[in-house]
A = this chain, B = another copy of it.
Amino acid sequence: VTDESSSNSPTLPTLAYAILALLARQPLTGYEIGRQLQDPIGLFWQAGHSQVYPVLARIEAQGLALATAGPGPGPRQKRRYSITPAGLTALRTWVEAPPGRRGRDELLLRVFASWVAPPEAILRVLREAEGLHRGQLETYLGRWARMQARGGPDAPGTADFADAATLRRGIEYERGRLAWVRWLIARLETAAHLD
């Protein structure tokens, strides 16, 4: 375990910092955090609500966020969390630490193993992937357009600039992905009708 912190604050999972990064912008409920970390929305980090609630409890226990409780729609109270100065400090410290790079990519792994399967099967997988990436790219471009519409991106050091920077990378990633998938489809198609 890479625990370089003091004894009273055990290390938090990366998800905790994703949550703190959202809370640094505005107070949110666990439900809202869960929504923002859902699959097509969460640009760089995903989590289900069942993972969010226990981590939120730990964040609160360490004094990194405070909750204000009020009546909720269900049998339990609705709790809206705000980040504390200690939470901001913790987030700042984490941001300044070097990121660990580990990547897992199922599509790439499938392509790596694709030569064991017939080309039509791989083409099906690739065409589906192409659709998904096209959709994701459009989602991102829509966000980008809305962002430009309500005043362009600010100067570095603002949340708006950070949003724009991450979104920019998301768009470039999807474009690169799409180009590669289309290249592969073209290669496989020309090879296929040579038979």
Interface residues of A (CB under 8 A from B): 14, 17-18, 20-21, 24, 39, 43-46, 88, 91-92, 94-117, 119, 121-122, 124-125, 128-129, 132, 155-159, 161-163, 165-166, 168-170, 172-173, 176, 179-180, 184, 187-188, 191
Report the minimal beta-carbon distance from A22 to chain B, rounded to whole angstroms. 9
Q: Is the interface of A mostly helix, strand, loop or mixed?
A: helix
Could you tell me the distance in whole angstroms from the C-beta of A41 to the nearest C-beta in chain B?
12
Instruction: Give every chain B residue within 8 A of A97 (Cβ-Cβ).
Output: 125
| A44-B109, A157-B191 given; 17 more Cβ-contact pairs under 8 Å | A44-B105, A44-B108, A45-B105, A94-B110, A96-B117, A98-B128, A99-B106, A99-B109, A99-B110, A101-B107, A111-B166, A114-B162, A115-B158, A115-B161, A119-B156, A172-B179, A176-B176
